[in-house]
Chains A and B, each alone.
Chain A
């Protein structure tokens, strides 16, 4: 089965750091563009970042640019996002998602991992 499983969420203080992971299985991870998308409780979806299949190209939402870094390890079939200088407004459920045939939509989503930024 095609599957994405996020991990690494938790409670962190404002200004702190956290690294989320997304383990992929059931498909050729090294051929797939990947995304992070977040959702604040009770609110809508917000795209965070994307990375191309070999990791040579990345894009970020303005709200996280300079604070978050997306990366991948194709040998381990794992996607990451390193989050630093965390703010209360970064509190959300973070989903990883696979880009469909490159970057034509996001066709596989993980179950999400929750990040709470609070003192």
Chain B
């Protein structure tokens, strides 16, 4: 059971907008930044969003992050076939003194 809660799956057709939620608590998302990672099949995770809503260089602006209270979300607009991957949210947890991850969301492009 992951500390952060994500839906196990999400899907959309090419060009659609898909949103993934990440729910936490006051000790993690509520008081710390949220980060998102993309993991393509058979590869290591890649940082997609940092500090709630910032994109590293090279990440398309189709990807956007937001945070409100103890929840966060990742939006993928203009969905493309290459976006088919697992997406994970993470945040520092003050009570656990450690990083906590969501269980991951598999995005399928129909």
Contact = CB atoms under 8 A, between A and B. Distances in A.
Contacts of B47: 100, 105-107
A44 B99 contact: no
A109 B51 contact: no
B44 A46 contact: no
A111 interface: yes
A32 to B, nearest CB: 14
Contacts of B92: 103
B73 to A, nearest CB: 17
B37 A100 contact: no
A107 B86 CA distance: 17
B35 A46 contact: no
Contacts of A107: 47, 50, 56
Contacts of A100: 47, 50
Given A95-B44, A105-B50, A107-B56, A45 B104 contact: yes
A62 B104 contact: no
B17 to A, nearest CB: 24
B44 A112 contact: yes
Nearest to B105: A44
A38 B33 CA distance: 21
Interface string B30-60: 0001010101000011110011000010000
B102 interface: yes
Given A104-B51, A105-B51, A45 B35 contact: no
8 contacts: A44-B104, A47-B99, A50-B98, A62-B98, A95-B44, A95-B45, A105-B35, A106-B45
Closest CB pairs A-B (n = 8): A47-B99, A109-B44, A105-B35, A105-B50, A44-B104, A45-B101, A107-B47, A44-B103
